[in-house]
Structure 1
Amino acid sequence: MLTINVTVLLAVIVVLRLRRRTEARSRSDEKLTVVIVLALGVLIAPTPVGQGILDLIGQLASGVSQSGR
């Protein structure tokens, strides 16, 4: 259960950080946002939600590649 709570906390932090104006961000602030998003991805990946997202993206990618033929 701890992983889910940390994941929710990171998701809230990401949403709050991305709502800020782009001009107000420094380069170090942008790097911190990238690190937080990567940590969120690592926490989401092994969960059923993460697997569902992966399956959905896989289906979209295969649909796009088939429509391009």
Structure 2
Amino acid sequence: MLTIDSGVLLAVIVFFRLRRRTEARSRFDERLTVVIVLALGVLIAPTPAGQGILNVLQQLASGVTQAGR
């Protein structure tokens, strides 16, 4: 039995959608890509990898904020 993680599948779809040239995209394509990326974020967020990404982004944001003072 073959199982495919939905997060991995969405990541592959996003990768191939973002490889296309920007000029060739319609507004519908851009909106669809945004929806797919948001769905991927929702799937990744509760996982340990998602929590690690969140921690890195929080540290980066706090570093940028402190550098701006």
Paired AA for residue 63 in structure 1: G
**CA-atom RMSD, angstroms?**
1.4
Matches within 5 A, 1:1-69: 5-69=5-69
Measured after TM superposition, the shift of residue 46 of structure 1 is 0.3
Give the TM-score taking structure 2 as reference length. Answer: 0.90
Measured after TM superposition, the shift of residue 62 of structure 1 is 1.0
Measured after TM superposition, the shift of residue 68 of structure 1 is 1.9
Measured after TM superposition, the shift of residue 17 of structure 1 is 0.3
Measured after TM superposition, the shift of residue 63 of structure 1 is 1.2
More helix by share: 1
Question: Residue 11 of structure 1: SS of its match in structure 2?
Answer: helix
Deviations 1:2-47 (A, max 9, x none): 7x70000000000000000111111111110000000000000000
d(CA) in 1 for partners of 2:45 and 2:5?
15
Question: What count of residue pairs does the alignment treat as equivalent?
Answer: 67
Gaps of 5+ in 2: none
Identity %: 78
Moved >6 Å (runs of 4+):
none
